[in-house]
Amino acid sequence: MSEEVKSLNFIEHIIEEDLRSGYEMSQLRFRFPPEPNGYLHIGHASSICLNFGLGLKYNAPVNLRFDDTNPAKEEKEYVDAIKSDVAWLGYEWDTECYASDYFQQLYDWAMELIKDGKAYVDSQTSEQIASQKGTPTEPGSHSPYRDRSVEENLRLFEGMKNGDFKEGEHVLRAKINMASSNMLMRDPVMYRILHKAHHRTNTDWCIYPMYDWTHGESDYIEQISHSLCTLEFLPHRELYDWFLDQLVSAEKLRPKQREFARRNLSHTVVSKRKLLQLVESGVVAGWDDPRMPTISGLRRRGYTPESIKNFADTIGIAKRENVVDVSLLEFHAREHLNKIAPRVMAVLSPLKVVITNYEEGKEEWLDAENNPEDESAGYRKVPFSKELYIEQEDFREDANRKFFRLKLGGEVRLKNGYIIQANSCTKDNKGNVIEVQCTYDPLSKSGSGTEESLRKVKGTLHWVSIPHAITAEVRLYDRLFTDETPDGHKDKDFMEFVNPDSLEKVTGYLEPSLKDAQVGEQFQFQRMGYFNVDKDSTKEKMVFNRTVTLKDTWAKLEQKE
């Protein structure tokens, strides 16, 4: 038993240090705080796995909190999708929370800040406020409204809340420091007027708190010990702490914000805005298009929760810029699917093979192993007959000895079936091979134990019996973007790198055992890749998605030539 010491990431180091210096294990509490303005993507998966993983590790509760402070962008549809994605990944949240549940508390605290002279109502336009912000190298200047009396501020803020003003007429600002080197500390806006219905509070409120005045306070209300977010929020930490300083009480736990680098995936984009653009421009069919890096897209594509979690686990958490290669995600898909996906045979690019010495009209049902990685998966029957399909690329009239497939005069084994030899072929008037005539060795049947059946032939092909085959639409996916970092170019828009060939639809010929496959069910089409049944399937026509190909060393060999 080699007890493998799992190395800690820097967040875990921080927590371990906190535990050593006074935190009780029972005080630990985390949260995953998405804004319901889009679907969750693979980048969120890292954050989900981090927070919920920490919860599991320390036996601490993890809240699912919707950061719903901007009714202009948020919808219930997104709330529902986010919940189902987190649940699908296999995590259970302790409490389902909404920042909107805290609107009253936040308002009350804001009133306190005004009374303390720490906040004021500014009646300038957003342009005026922006122009007074200064620049990173020059300090800002004070608003003419900065020194309004407490009474006037109170009266105006209540007026804002009561709907006495139009959008943009006033905002509430924290009175901090217009000369701070941190732009966020230059009297940040805490509230703005928005006469928009909110998906939960409807028209109860027409002032909405800003992110900075919501997040830390929500963490405090929920008594989150470690509030983990991405690196771009690092400058917000000073503000996060300033707001907390105004209201934290000594007997309660004070949350800390810590930041980690967002994970970027090669050959894709991971930004809700850009994903939305892909959806709205029609480049993809929706948020759950199998080419999308969204959780729902990956699920539909055939990724398992295990593969996504293992992926998140191996890429880890750190603070530096990164672009993780998609091949690592694909590796985890193959690794898990290899263990669980039943093997079947399907031909996606058919070439007819006729077994000339096989009796016309005869059929045999052969035994086929469902999964060599899992003995308990058992066996099924596949039909064999005189006329079969093999893959076009598995036959060549003539080829060198590195080609382990069918060629004229050569032998090959049909998986789970017989050894056949190609004798001749016929072509259409363009010179394309349209049929191969073969003979089979009746004594070479797989599993029969005869001397002939044990004979080694170099190649083994998958195949399907033409009269028994069922057809289905098979969707083959390629990377959505041709460039490794589509949004990493200053002079070019990421949309310029959209791969026009990211989806190819073909008709597949499948062994008949597949006819009862259910939506979402996963299979390995032997030698072709992993596939699952798409939700677009109907009784008349099944639809399969290719999740990922198998590793293909032959294709690489060929490419080199």
Partner RNA sequence: UGGCCUAUGGUGUAAUUGGCAACACUACUGAUUUUGGUUCAGUCAUUCUAGGUUCGAGUCCUAGUAGGCCAACCA
For residue 161, what are the CA distances in angstroms to 146, 171, 199, 215?
Answer: 20, 11, 18, 20
Q: Distance (Å, rounded) from C-alpha 239 to C-alpha 242? A: 5
DSSP 23: -
> What is the closest distance, in whole angstroms, from the C-beta atom of residue 6 to RNA in the complex?
9
Is 405 considered catalytic here? no
> Which residue out of 35, 75, 335, 397 is catalytically annotated?
35
> What is the closest distance, in whole angstroms, from the C-beta atom of residue 262 to RNA in the complex?
10
Q: Distance (Å, rounded) from C-alpha 207 to C-alpha 198? A: 11
> What is the closest distance, in whole angstroms, from the C-beta atom of residue 490 to RNA in the complex?
8
Q: Distance (Å, rounded) from C-alpha 532 to C-alpha 521? A: 5
Q: Distance (Å, rounded) from C-alpha 348 to C-alpha 344? A: 13
Three-state SS annotation for 113-161 = HHHCCCEEEECCCHHHHHHHCCECCECCCCCCCCCCCHHHHHHHHHHHH
Q: Please, is 276 exposed, middle or buried when counting C-beta atoms within 10 Å of its C-beta (0-12, 13-18, 19+)?
A: middle
> What is the closest distance, in whole angstroms, from the C-beta atom of residue 462 to RNA in the complex?
7
Q: What is the dihedral of CA 299, 304, 310, 315, to 10 degrees?
A: -20
Where is 226: in which H helix or E strand?
strand 226-230
Q: How far is CA 560 from the centre of its chain?
A: 33
Is 35 considered catalytic here? yes
* Among candidate residues 110, 125, 119, the one with its CA nearest the CA of residue 209: 110
> What is the closest distance, in whole angstroms, from the C-beta atom of residue 218 to RNA in the complex?
10
- Give the list of residues 6+ apart from residue 196 with CB closer than 8 angstroms, or none: 71, 72, 206
> What is the closest distance, in whole angstroms, from the C-beta atom of residue 256 to RNA in the complex?
15
Residue burial 318-327, b: 16+ Cβ < 10 Å; e: rest: eeeeeebebe
Is 112 considered catalytic here? no
Q: Please, is 531 exposed, middle or buried when counting C-beta atoms within 10 Å of its C-beta (0-12, 13-18, 19+)?
A: buried
> What is the closest distance, in whole angstroms, from the C-beta atom of residue 367 to RNA in the complex?
10
Q: Which two tokens stand for residue 128?
A: 């005026």
Residue with smaller CB distance to RNA, 374 or 435 = 374
Q: Is 465 helix (H, G, I), strand (E, B) or coil?
A: strand
Residue with smaller CB distance to RNA, 335 or 536 = 335
- Give the list of residues 6+ apart from residue 556 with CB closer than 8 angstroms, or none: none
> What is the closest distance, in whole angstroms, from the C-beta atom of residue 143 to RNA in the complex?
11
> Which residue out of 262, 274, 380, 381 is catalytically annotated?
262
> What is the closest distance, in whole angstroms, from the C-beta atom of residue 326 to RNA in the complex?
9
Residue with smaller CB distance to RNA, 7 or 21 = 7
Residue with smaller CB distance to RNA, 156 or 289 = 156
Q: Is 180 helix (H, G, I), strand (E, B) or coil?
A: coil
> Which residue out of 161, 256, 272, 343 is catalytically annotated?
272
Q: Which two tokens stand for residue 519?
A: 């939506």
- List strand residue ranges (DSSP E) for 398-502, in order: 406-407, 411-414, 419-427, 433-440, 460-461, 464-465, 470-477
Residue with smaller CB distance to RNA, 20 or 430 = 20
Residue with smaller CB distance to RNA, 368 or 543 = 368
Contact of 457 with 413, CB cutoff 8 Å = yes
Residue with smaller CB distance to RNA, 255 or 289 = 255
Q: Is 46 helix (H, G, I), strand (E, B) or coil?
A: helix
> What is the closest distance, in whole angstroms, from the C-beta atom of residue 321 to RNA in the complex?
5
Q: Distance (Å, rounded) from C-alpha 542 to C-alpha 547? A: 16
Strand partners, 424: 437
Which residue numbers are catalytic? 35, 262, 272
